[in-house]
Every structure is written in C-alpha cells, then in structure tokens.
Structure 1
Amino acid sequence: MTAGPGARLLRPPTSSGRATFLELFFDLAFVAALTQVSRRFAELGDETGWALVSGFGRTLLLFLALWLIWSHTAWITSRYEPERSIIQAVVVGTMFAGLVMAVTLPRGMEERALPFAVAYLSVMVVRPLVIAVALRGHPRRLVPFRLAVWAAASAPLWLAGALGPDRLLPALWAVALGVDYLAWILGWPLPRLGASAVGRWRIAGMHLADRYQQMILIALGESILLIAIVFGGADYSVERAAAFVVAFVTSALLWRIYFYHAGLLLTDALGRAGMPGRLGTASERTHLLIVLSVLVTAVGYELVIDHPYGSPRPGWLLFVVGGPALFLVARMRLEYEIFGRVSRTLVIGLAALSVLTPALSRWTSMAALSVVAGVLAVVALLEALRRRGRPAQVPAPAVGREPSDRDDSEA
C-alpha cells in the first residue's frame, strides 16, 4: 500500500477523523442547492394528479444528482488526506461546480439544463481523472479511473437530454442517473480490470459518520431558515404565528428522533463494523432518504404558514404528512443498520400517520401539521421512556458485521 508517490495522498492512520474547515466551507454550496430544491418542491403545493407526480419526479432527479456529487466528495475526503493540496483543489473545484448546479437548479430541467449537466459532468468525469493522475504508481489509481470511464459512458445521455427535445429530457436524465448510481453499487466494473467493491474500501469511519451527521444538520438548518423566511415575509397573524411555532417544534422533534440514539452512535457503529465500507454505503442511502424527508417536510411548513386554515389539497399532504412518514421509514432503516433491530415505537408512529392520513385530508393544513407534530412527539417521548434507567446502548451493526478476509490492494 506504500508503492509510488501516490501513496502520500492516502489518509494515514494518524489523520484526524473530524471534518476539516475546507469541507464545512464546501458544504455552503450545498446549503444553497438544498434551498433551491425546496423552492422547486414548494411550487408543487397547488398541483394535483400527473402535474404533481411529474414535478416531484423532476425535482427528485435534480436532488439525486446533487446528492451523488456530495456523497462522492464525502467518500473522497474519507479515503484521501484532505490536507493535501491536490485534494483541497479537488474539493474547491467541486464546490464551484455545486454552486453552478445550485444557481441553475430552479430551471435545471428547462432552459438551464445544459449548464447544470456540464457542471455535473465536470465533477463526475474530470475529478476522478485528476485523482487517478495524482495516485500515479499506486494500485488504488484504478478506482477513480473506473469511475471516470463509467461517468464518460453516461455523459452522452446527460448532454442529449440537455440539448434535445424537452419531452425527452426527464427520461434521458433518469437513465443517465440510474447508470451512475448502478455503477457505484456494482463497483464500476470494467473488462479485464473487474470491479472495486465499495463495501471493501478502507475508510475513516469517524470522518464519514461526521459528514453524514453534518448533512442532516444542514438539512434541518435549511428547514429552520425556510420557516423564518416564510413567516418573516408573510403578513403577521396569530394563525401564522401558531403555524410558525408548530413548524419549529416539528423540526426539533426530527432532530431529536434522528440523534437519539442511532444517529449519535453512527461513529461507534462504523468503528465496530468488520467491513465499515459496507455499512458506510448502506448508511449513505439511508441518509439520502433522511435528507430528502427533511426537505419535503420543510416545504410542508411553508404551505401551512402561508395558509394555516385553508383545506389541505392532496399536494399539501404529500409534504405535510409524506415527509415525516419518509423520515420514520429512513430512521427505522438506520436503527437496523446500527443495532440490528427496529424500534416498535417508530413502527407505531408510522402506522399512526398512515391511519390518520385519510382524516387529515379533510382537516385544515394547520390541524394536519399539528397532528404530525403530536405523533412525532409521542415517538420521541416513548423512545426516551424506553431507554430511561438503562445502560448506554452498544451498536451491533447488522450491515458490514463480517470482517473482510480478502487482501484487496485497491481498497
């Protein structure tokens, strides 16, 4: 593992497991991007039927492209020394591309599709080639090389979607993004070179957990920012003030449920896992769902604060109830990954939201959000009571439990 000058780029065992200031700076571009995703979702509040489904799918596709850029960057700084100049240049370059994607995102599947696609491809194709060159003489250089080849293979679909007829863009980009995600799952297999199984990668578990937790806080922070902007810009009324309070309480409950205890013990779980790379990849998909659920829920806040006592349309329930329901599903998945079980309290909370949804469709939006906050409060309270007086929980990861017995020089 020390062959060639490229070995200096790898994270040494003595490297700090905490995220660097550069990575926190990098996240600022994605704060802007997540805000734009929320804005696109919010525009769907009055839509119904196919218009709602189509609009939601388009915005989801743009979010998934952003997430792939962010998560790849988190893995790069978890595997390579972020204090090296080349890695810092890669992160700053990725930040600029992410900022371009954020700026173009409001019309990212319309007239600004080309700059969005070019910014995305500049990261997916150019960045791994730069890292591969920097790793010269080291076996691990084949990993970014594989990634660049697969990204180049999907690039024509991205460009064809941006330059072709508008009606073909969603389908072409959906296929292209599917290729990019599938390649990651499969380890970017190539003829004669084979694949590089991500589950066997050597990673800094503390660092990766730190990055996931920070992204959750960023998403929650974006929801708080949205609450403040919407309430501050609307005409003041007691009804809107009440909706503002309930929205804040809901965000606080999401924070509590995530971190108590599964999110808080993610670092320990990655340290105990025999194959932390496998647990890291599973956790990456789980945190994708959690971040998406927080963004969707935040859109519900905006719709309720704007019209607290208007009858909720179907599109509103997708955000007011669907966001928290998705959050509970993702939180159950995280609990299984860390403890090898699922809390019955979370299942009860999800079942309650499912049972109450038909009734909520006939109530005011304020009543719907209040019921959702009540369900989340009960979940948080029952979880606290269940753990009261018991010893600290010890992670028992159900994913990546078995140690790797294969010497993979590319890991």
Structure 2
Amino acid sequence: MTSGAGRLRRRPEKPKVTGLELLFDVVFVLALAQLSTLLEEDTSWTGAVQTLILLLPLSVVWAVTAEECDKYDPQQLPIQLLVLGALLGTLVMAAAAPEAFGERGLYFAGAYLAIQLGASGILVHLLRGGEMQRSEAREAFWFGVSAVPWIVGAIMHGWARAVLWALALAVEYLAAVLRLPTPGLGRGRATEFGYSGEHLADRCRQFFTIALGELILVTGLTLDQSGFRVATFAAVLAAFATTVLLWRVYFYSAGEQQSKALAEASGPVHGRPVVFAHPILVAAVIAISISYKFVISHPLGRTPPAWVALIVGGPALFLAGRGFLEYAVFRRVSWDRPIAILVLVVISPAMILVPPVGAASAAALVLAGVALVDTARGPRRGQPAGAG
C-alpha cells in the first residue's frame, strides 16, 4: 500500500459516523422534498418514471460518498473537501430536479458528473499507485462512459432524455455488479475492500430515516394547510401509524443486522446489495408521503386511480425493497413479504370505492400485519449472509 493510500485509509477502530457525513445527509432533505413535489404535480406514469430516474443518480451520489467515507478517513482534509464538493453538487442537483426534464437538464446532469468524475479523478491523483488507485480509476472510467448518455440526454428533450438517462444509469449499475471491468485494469477483486459494517450500516439507516423525516414533514405541513377536522385527523393518524410501521418493519431483524452482514461481506460486490436496497425503500417512502398529502388534504370522497396507485403501490414497493434487503442480509425472504404484496395488489381495485382515508387505513393494516408476524416470529437466528 502506498503512503498516500495509507494516509487516507480509514482505520478500523474509527467506525463512527462523523459530523461532516451528517451534514452531507442534510442536503437530501431538500432533494427528497423536491422529488416529492415533482411526483405530486404529475402522478402519471410519466411523472413516476421521471421521479425514479432523478432519484437513482441522487442515490448513487449518496452511496458512493458513503462508501468513500467508509474506505477513506473523513478526518483527512482531502476527503473532507470531496464530501463538501459532493454536498454542493447535490444541492445543485436538488435545486434543478423540478425542471430536470425541462430547461435545467444540463445543470442536473452536469452537477452529477462533476461530483462523480471529480471525486474519482482527485482520488486517482492522491492515491498514487496500488490497488486502491486502480479501483478509483475503474470508477472514473465507467463514470466517463456513462457521461456520454448523460450529456447527450441533457441536450435532448422529452422521452429521448429519459431513455438516455436511464441508459446511463443502467451502465453504471451493471458495471458495479460486474466489478467494473476496465480495459487495461481488468475487473476489481471481490476482496478489494472490506466494509466497516458498523459505519456503513449506520449510514444506510440514516438515509432511510431521512426519508421517514420527509413523510413526517409532509404530514405536518399538510395538516396545517388542511385545517383541523375529524376526517383530517383520522388521515393524520393513518399517516403517523404508517410512519411507525415503516420504521418498525425496516429496523426489525435485517435492518439491525446490516452491520454484521456488511462486515462479513467479502467486498463491495457482496456488500453493495445492502446499499442498493435503499433507493427502493426511499422511492417507496416518497410515494407514500405523496399519497398522504392527497389523503390528508381530501380524506373523504372518491379516491382517484392515481391516488390508489400511490396509496397501495408505496407500501408494496417498500415491502419489495425490504425483502431485497432481507435477502442481502440473510439470503432468504420471510413468507409474509410476498403475501402482503399480493394482498395489496388484490385489494387495490376495491380502493377506488372507498374514501382516501379508508384506502390509506387499509394499506396501513397490511403493514401492521407484517409487523405483527415479525414480532410473533421473533428475531432471525440465522447468520447474516457473507461472501456466500
């Protein structure tokens, strides 16, 4: 290991999350609020796809920065500057998000590429030889490849932009799964880096908690705007119960054992599924928060199909993401997850016939059933999945 890499490497005895990392997380409060607003204004399939396409690069920024702070010491000035640069870039991405498929596409894509290529390029320079430098060079290469559809997409309009940006994201995610095969450098080794399980698991939990904070924020602000009526309070209680149930189902067993799963993973390829599960979970919470903005504003009357899709689809997506997380940790999925998703799908047509507060309460009851089954079953006794 080179002296540069040795100086920047995070020591195993320093697993705690630093204040700078918490500051970095704060910008995602704005980012998630912006995405929620975008989806609220367009609940069509087009709006949902666009919101997802914008959420994924923001999630990549968060995941890559979290991994950098796991591999390298955030107490070192160069790493602090990289994190602050990522914070500034994410701020620009968040501000541009509502018009990312309009006039600000180049700002969104440019900020994203500046974060990724800038960090990779600087680390390649700082590490000066060795496997760690080659690893960063692989990342720089693949972000350079994905930069082409990102920039071309930003110049295009309409669905052409969405397709090209989706292609760029597919390139990045597939390259990560294949261990970044790069001309002249080969693929990264599965044992290239070990994870500090405690640190990275804490970062994942904080990311999900920020998403829950968006749900609480939406609930409180919508209550303030809608007035204090009996039906409104019933909707707020459903939103509060849903928030608690999301917290309970997430943290139960697999959420609490992420640390051990990440620590026992043989490298990024085996640890990353735990990290990659979280964009799914965050997308679900965004959908749920928007559904409750509608439900609290209009608790009675007819429930439009688009609202039903959010009210039922949000919890279903959350359970799918939670199942993916559970599989990443334990290599198996509890039977109640797919059954609960099936129940949500089955009841969704009938939700059009009940008022919004009734539909939201029904979805919350399904989540409550999952939480009760988890409690009755007791904590998982199996070992978290390692290298497999």
The TM-score, its normalising length taken from structure 2, stands at 0.95
Which of 146, 152, 155 is the matching residue for 1:163? 155
1:32 maps to amino acid: L
Note if 1:259 corresponds to 2:256.
Answer: no
1:237 maps to amino acid: R
What secondary structure is seen at the aligned counterpart in 2 of 1:262? helix
Note if 1:401 corresponds to 2:387.
Answer: yes
Note if 1:143 corresponds to 2:129.
Answer: no
Note if 1:19 corresponds to 2:9.
Answer: no
Residues 305, 268 of structure 1: CA spacing in aligned structure 2 closer, same or farther, 3 A cutoff? same
What secondary structure is seen at the aligned counterpart in 2 of 1:19? coil
Supply the distance in 2 between the matched residues of 1:278 and 1:188 (Cα, whole angstroms).
Answer: 10
Supply the distance in 2 between the matched residues of 1:395 and 1:134 (Cα, whole angstroms).
Answer: 41
Note if 1:32 corresponds to 2:30.
Answer: yes
Residues 56, 274 of structure 1: CA spacing in aligned structure 2 closer, same or farther, 3 A cutoff? closer
2:194 maps to amino acid: R
Indicate the residue corresponding to 1:275 in structure 2. 266
How is 1:2-401 mapped onto 2 (pairs within 5 angstroms)? 3-14=2-13, 16-45=14-43, 52-197=44-189, 200-271=192-263, 273-275=264-266, 277-387=268-378, 393-398=380-385, 400-401=386-387
Supply the distance in 1 between the matched residues of 2:131 and 2:246 (Cα, whole angstroms).
Answer: 43
Supply the distance in 2 between the matched residues of 1:385 and 1:18 (Cα, whole angstroms).
Answer: 33
Residues 126, 274 of structure 1: CA spacing in aligned structure 2 closer, same or farther, 3 A cutoff? closer
- Deviations for 1:375-409, whole angstroms, at most 9, x for unmatched residues? 1112212221222xxxx6445234x334xxxxxxx
2:345 maps to amino acid: S
1:129 maps to amino acid: G
Supply the distance in 1 between the matched residues of 2:31 and 2:148 (Cα, whole angstroms).
Answer: 24
Q: CA deviation at 1:337?
A: 2.5
Supply the distance in 1 between the matched residues of 2:157 and 2:262 (Cα, whole angstroms).
Answer: 46
Q: Percent identity?
A: 38
Instruction: Report which stretch shifted further, 165-174 or 70-79.
Output: 165-174
Residues 97, 363 of structure 1: CA spacing in aligned structure 2 closer, same or farther, 3 A cutoff? same
CA contact (8 A) 2:257 2:384 kept: no
2:222 maps to amino acid: V
CA contact (8 A) 1:29 1:98 kept: yes
Supply the distance in 2 between the matched residues of 1:38 and 1:199 (Cα, whole angstroms).
Answer: 38
Q: CA deviation at 1:342?
A: 2.2
Q: CA deviation at 1:297?
A: 1.0
Residues 224, 27 of structure 1: CA spacing in aligned structure 2 closer, same or farther, 3 A cutoff? same
What secondary structure is seen at the aligned counterpart in 1 of 2:227? coil
Supply the distance in 1 between the matched residues of 2:266 and 2:5 (Cα, whole angstroms).
Answer: 24
Supply the distance in 2 between the matched residues of 1:362 and 1:161 (Cα, whole angstroms).
Answer: 41
What secondary structure is seen at the aligned counterpart in 2 of 1:321? helix
CA contact (8 A) 2:262 2:271 kept: yes
Residues 197, 313 of structure 1: CA spacing in aligned structure 2 closer, same or farther, 3 A cutoff? farther
Supply the distance in 2 between the matched residues of 1:332 and 1:163 (Cα, whole angstroms).
Answer: 38
Supply the distance in 1 between the matched residues of 2:66 and 2:345 (Cα, whole angstroms).
Answer: 35
Supply the distance in 2 between the matched residues of 1:249 and 1:257 (Cα, whole angstroms).
Answer: 12
1:380 maps to amino acid: A
Residues 300, 344 of structure 1: CA spacing in aligned structure 2 closer, same or farther, 3 A cutoff? same
Q: Mind listing any 5+ residue stretches in structure 2 that lack a counterpart? A: none
2:38 maps to amino acid: R
Indicate the residue corresponding to 1:409 in structure 2. none
Q: CA deviation at 1:101?
A: 0.5
Supply the distance in 2 between the matched residues of 1:93 and 1:221 (Cα, whole angstroms).
Answer: 24
CA contact (8 A) 2:274 2:329 kept: no
2:27 maps to amino acid: A
Q: CA deviation at 1:40?
A: 0.9
1:164 maps to amino acid: M
2:32 maps to amino acid: L
Supply the distance in 1 between the matched residues of 2:129 and 2:191 (Cα, whole angstroms).
Answer: 24
2:232 maps to amino acid: R
Q: CA deviation at 1:324?
A: 0.2
Instruction: Report which stretch shifted further, 344-353 or 209-218.
Output: 344-353
2:354 maps to amino acid: W
Residues 163, 348 of structure 1: CA spacing in aligned structure 2 closer, same or farther, 3 A cutoff? closer
Instruction: Report which stretch shifted further, 281-290 or 349-358.
Output: 349-358
Supply the distance in 1 between the matched residues of 2:249 and 2:141 (Cα, whole angstroms).
Answer: 40
Residues 250, 61 of structure 1: CA spacing in aligned structure 2 closer, same or farther, 3 A cutoff? same
CA contact (8 A) 1:5 1:138 kept: no
Supply the distance in 1 between the matched residues of 2:285 and 2:304 (Cα, whole angstroms).
Answer: 20
Q: CA RMSD in A?
A: 1.8
- Deviations for 1:134-153, whole angstroms, at most 9, x for unmatched residues? 10133311111121122222
CA contact (8 A) 2:61 2:116 kept: yes
